[in-house]
């Protein structure tokens, strides 16, 4: 199990660094981290598939994130159908254009695409606190 914990930590580090950098500076490229079966729950609104997620990202104003903490944990094989899946929880503040910083909680379920061997976001939930 220690290898699974290590792999989850590496995947979490990679996701947090890449996701928030792209979100702030290259949002058009962010949709590459999702698959056609991905879903995003953004403050109670569900977006399913890359086109819906692309639409959500396009309508959000520019922002800056301040990440205060994050943690990554492997999801057990029994719960994930023997697929390597990691849950990443992130907390911090986000400031959208012309607004004050808001605390947020962001949870991702990420997995590896077996054909490309690349990480992708299977599920995501973003909430302002």
Local confidence band at 82 (pLDDT 50, 70, 90 cut-offs): low
To the question of pTM greater than 0.95 for the whole model, the response is no
Paired strand residues for 91: 69, 105
Alpha helices in the chain (DSSP H): 2-25, 27-30, 50-59, 77-80
* 2-11 confidence digits (pLDDT tens): 888 888 899 9
Q: What is the structure's pLDDT at 114?
A: 66
Local confidence band at 83 (pLDDT 50, 70, 90 cut-offs): confident
| 8 Å CB contact between 96 and 61 | yes
Per the structure, the complete domain to which residue 30 belongs is given by 2-128
| 8 Å CB contact between 54 and 32 | no
Q: Return the CATH number at 51.
A: 3.10.450.50
- Which residue would you say has higher pLDDT here, 31 or 77? 31
Q: How many domains does the chain have?
A: 1
């Amino acid at each position: 199990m220690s290898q699974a914990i290590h792999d989850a930590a590496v995947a979490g580090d990679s996701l947090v660094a890449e996701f928030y950098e792209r979100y702030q500076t290259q949002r058009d490229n962010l949709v590459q981290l999702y698959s056609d079966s991905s879903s995003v729950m953004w403050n109670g609104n569900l977006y399913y598939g890359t086109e819906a997620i692309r639409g959500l990202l396009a309508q959000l104003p520019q922002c800056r994130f301040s990440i205060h903490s994050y943690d990554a944990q492997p999801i057990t094989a029994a719960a994930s159908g023997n697929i390597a899946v990691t849950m990443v929880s992130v907390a911090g503040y986000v400031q959208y254009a012309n607004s004050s910083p808001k605390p947020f909680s962001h949870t991702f379920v990420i997995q590896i695409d077996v054909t490309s061997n690349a990480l992708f976001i299977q599920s995501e939930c973003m909430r302002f606190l």
